């Protein structure tokens, strides 16, 4: 990947790292389906306003609309519901570890469904090293519940599997000539159209108690930062660097969360953090390939 791709991937990891925090705040007061619907609806409104003001609204066609709805199902509707429901029953640290399997699923799916992102020994090693690094980084105390509450854990893995398919499916927007900004807007807008009637029937939000200010602000952060801005970055990296590389963000999310805690919450770094970070770095270098290629030339 280019330097700008890595910079966008790191920024994306910070934004999506915050999504686990926002969901953790909101899920105690707001039902999972309502959280997911509000997340995509807030993101869609913000992006639609921006595109309208800047006169960048795309011209729609049948294939583009189909792609928006397909991407919305694979990248929003299925994984968001599974993650929010799963995180309501297991720790966010364990959820982020399970979510870090996304590159593993992506590499496998890409191997069978693409011609230019085949599984190589270096990529396979890099993905496994990244998962090991994430587990070490977060510590054994956060995976103590592994095996308990099996269904919520399978839900997070199901979300990671859906993300793998979404990364492959999303490659078509480049060939359709749709910009990353328009793709992000179309995806969350389609997701809102699909989710809103279901949420109104199932959750009946007018019957709920008014959530606290903290939950409301968490939803705003989830919709604006972790959805609208984040997906613009996501589709830019996907268009320029491919499905496997954009899925590496799940390795970086725990790192971002830990360093945000150090700088803003005065948390402490331990030896396991540096070991996990080093192993993740080795995994990323293996998938990127350039460092290993340079070593072979020596």
- pLDDT per position in the chain (298 positions), as tens? 788 998 999 999 889 877 777 887 888 899 989 999 999 999 999 999 989 998 888 888 999 999 999 999 999 999 988 988 887 887 666 777 778 788 888 888 888 888 877 878 887 888 888 888 777 876 765 556 656 677 888 898 899 999 999 989 998 998 898 988 899 999 999 999 999 999 999 899 999 899 999 999 999 999 999 999 999 999 999 888 888 788 888 778 877 777 766 776 566 777 877 888 788 878 877 776 666 666 666 5
- For residues 265 and 118, the answer to whether their CB atoms sit within 8 Å is no
The predicted pLDDT at position 64 comes to 94
DSSP string, 224-286: IIIIIIHHHHHHHHHHHH-HHHHHTHHHHHHHHHHHHHHHHH-----HHHHHHHHHHHHHHHH
The predicted pLDDT at position 47 comes to 93
- Which pair of tokens denotes residue 184? 């992000």
The predicted pLDDT at position 283 comes to 80
- Which pair of tokens denotes residue 105? 């699923």
Query: Which residue has 């990127």 as its token pair?
Result: 288
The predicted pLDDT at position 87 comes to 79
Distance CA 214, CA 48 (A): 26
| DSSP assignment letter at 144 | T
Q: How many CB atoms lie within 10 A of CB 267?
A: 14
- pTM confidence score: 0.79
- Alpha-carbon separation of residue 190 from 44, 178, 186 (angstroms): 9, 15, 6
Distance CA 121, CA 119 (A): 7
Distance CA 175, CA 7 (A): 24
- For residues 17 and 254, the answer to whether their CB atoms sit within 8 Å is yes
Kindly tell me the burial class for residue 219, based on how many C-beta atoms sit within 10 Å of its own C-beta (0-12, 13-18, 19 or more).
buried
| DSSP assignment letter at 205 | G
What residues pair up with 148 in beta bridges, in sequence order? 146
Would the CA dihedral through 283, 286, 292, 294 be positive or negative? negative
The predicted pLDDT at position 244 comes to 76
Q: How many CB atoms lie within 10 A of CB 144?
A: 12
């Amino acid at each position: 990947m280019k330097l700008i791709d890595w910079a966008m991937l790191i920024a994306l990891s910070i934004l999506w790292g915050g999504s686990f925090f926002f969901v953790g705040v909101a899920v105690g007061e707001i039902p999972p389906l309502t959280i997911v619907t509000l997340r995509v609806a807030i993101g869609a409104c913000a992006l639609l306003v921006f595109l309208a003001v800047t006169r960048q609204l795309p011209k729609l066609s049948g294939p583009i609309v189909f792609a928006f709805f397909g991407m919305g199902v694979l990248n929003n509707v299925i994984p968001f519901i599974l993650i929010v429901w799963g995180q309501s029953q297991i720790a966010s640290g364990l959820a982020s570890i399970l979510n870090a399997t996304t590159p593993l699923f992506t590499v496998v799916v890409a191997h069978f469904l693409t011609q230019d992102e085949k599984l190589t020994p270096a990529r396979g090693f890099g993905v496994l090293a990244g998962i090991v690094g994430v587990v070490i980084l977060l510590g054994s105390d956060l995976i103590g519940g592994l095996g308990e509450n099996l269904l919520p854990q399978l839900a997070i893995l199901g979300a990671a599997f859906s993300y793998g398919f979404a990364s492959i499916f999303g490659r078509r927007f480049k060939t359709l000539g749709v910009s990353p900004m328009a793709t992000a807007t179309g995806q969350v807008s389609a997701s809102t159209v699909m989710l809103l009637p279901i949420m109104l029937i199932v959750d009946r939000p007018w019957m709920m108690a008014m959530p606290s200010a903290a939950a409301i602000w968490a939803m705003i952060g989830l919709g604006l930062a972790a959805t609208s801005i984040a997906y613009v970055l996501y589709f830019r990296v996907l268009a320029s660097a491919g499905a496997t590389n954009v899925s590496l963000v799940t390795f970086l999310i725990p790192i971002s969360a830990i360093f945000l805690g150090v700088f803003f919450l005065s948390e402490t770094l331990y030896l396991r953090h540096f070991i996990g970070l080093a192993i993740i770095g080795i995994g990323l270098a293996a998938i990127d390939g350039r460092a290993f290629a340079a070593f072979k030339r020596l």
